[in-house]
């Protein structure tokens, strides 16, 4: 059987890690697909952008913080097929940024311990990342 061909969407995400070892998660706002689920901050990689440049832009737009490419360490990636697209999502770790993360797009934000991530419902692509993060961080 030939697999169904779907569009691949490249999304870059970040695990922001604070001085206490907590990570920042954001709740998808009402009106967006998968509203109410928690995810790692990030967004679509636009044409001409690298995943790192997209994250720097998204962190500024969504959270009002600044970081640099040298502060983004590749951790792992997610590859997940949803009903109408395939998500490819590199995940980076970031421990250094300028400013205090604030919600700029209506999403709730929460700092949580890695061992508490399972307490927050996440999109299917994000769920396998939790065990990897627990082992890597």
Instruction: Please report the pLDDT score of residue 32 as a whole number.
Output: 84
| Three-class secondary structure of residue 136 per DSSP | helix
| Three-class secondary structure of residue 73 per DSSP | strand
Instruction: Please report the pLDDT score of residue 31 as a whole number.
Output: 83
Range of the domain at 32: 7-136
- Token pair for residue 34? 């998968």
Instruction: Please report the pLDDT score of residue 30 as a whole number.
Output: 86
Does 76 fall in a domain?
yes
Residues 50-85: tens digit of each pLDDT? 999 999 999 999 999 999 999 999 999 999 999 899
pLDDT means per 10 residues, the chain with 137 residues, are 81 96 94 91 96 97 97 96 94 97 93 95 93 85
Q: What is the CATH number of the domain that holds 98?
A: 3.90.79.10
Does 127 fall in a domain?
yes
pTM of the model: 0.92
């Amino acid at each position: 059987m030939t697999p169904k061909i779907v569009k691949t969407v490249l999304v870059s995400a970040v695990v922001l890690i604070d001085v206490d070892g907590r990570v920042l998660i954001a709740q998808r706002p009402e009106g967006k697909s998968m509203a109410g689920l928690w995810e790692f901050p990030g967004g679509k990689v636009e044409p001409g952008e690298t995943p790192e440049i997209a994250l720097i832009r998204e962190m500024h737009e969504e959270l009002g913080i600044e970081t640099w490419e040298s502060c983004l360490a590749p951790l792992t990636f997610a590859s997940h097929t949803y009903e109408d697209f395939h998500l490819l999502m590199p995940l980076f770790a970031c421990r250094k940024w300028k400013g205090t993360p604030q919600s700029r797009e209506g999403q709730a934000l929460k700092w949580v311990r890695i061992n508490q991530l399972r307490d927050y419902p996440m999109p299917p692509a994000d769920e396998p990342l939790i065990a990897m993060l627990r082992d890597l961080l």
